[in-house]
Amino acid sequence: MLSKSQARAFFLGGTVVTFLIFIGLTIYSFQPKNDQTNHGQIDAKVVRGKEIWEANNCMGCHTILGEGAYYAPELTKVIERRGEGYVKAVLQSPIPWGPRGRKMVKYEMNNEDTEAVIAYLKWIGNIDLNGFERVVSPLAKDKE
């Protein structure tokens, strides 16, 4: 059993050590060589694609990087999996897209907006995922 002074010393010592580890990891994570976001590749088209993604509430059905709803397929690496032509066809389809009983809204996007969304999905697909090929919920695996 620790005395009061020993418990206080143990608590303060543990707090200082934990704080120093936290500061060290923070400094390490801010070093440029550890950046995995590929933020240098963001251009106006990628920003426009993100705006379209948000305006149409795509995350209400889809997920990106594991965030969003699990109704529709995960889209982090959709360009790599399906290709630009497939994504373009879905976004410009004049009829609601309905594979496997689920219906996607018909957006009938023009070429400029479609290219912006594809640029955004390409940018997302190039984020370093630390070796994970896809970020998919176990609930969504059968929905693709």
Residue 3 DSSP SS3: coil
Domain check: are 79 and 99 in the same one?
yes
What pTM value is reported for the model? 0.70
Which residues, 6+ apart, have CB-to-CB distance to 53 below 8 Å? 59, 117, 120
Take residue 86 and report the two structure tokens written for it. 């497939």
pLDDT digits (tens, 9 = 90+) for 52-88: 999 999 999 899 988 888 888 889 889 998 999 999 9
**Span 10-39, average pLDDT:** 89
Take residue 104 and report the two structure tokens written for it. 């996607």
Domain check: are 30 and 54 in the same one?
no
Domain check: are 56 and 117 in the same one?
yes
Domain check: are 94 and 135 in the same one?
yes
CA distance 74 to 59: 10
Residue 117: CATH number of its domain = 1.10.760.10
Long-range contacts of 85-88 (CB under 8 A, 24+ apart): 87/114, 87/117, 87/118, 87/121, 88/114, 88/118
Number of structural domains found in the chain: 2
pLDDT digits (tens, 9 = 90+) for 111-138: 999 999 999 999 998 887 776 665 454 4
Residue 142 scores a pLDDT above 90: no
Instruction: Give the range of the structural domain holding residue 25, as residue numbers without chain letter.
Output: 1-34
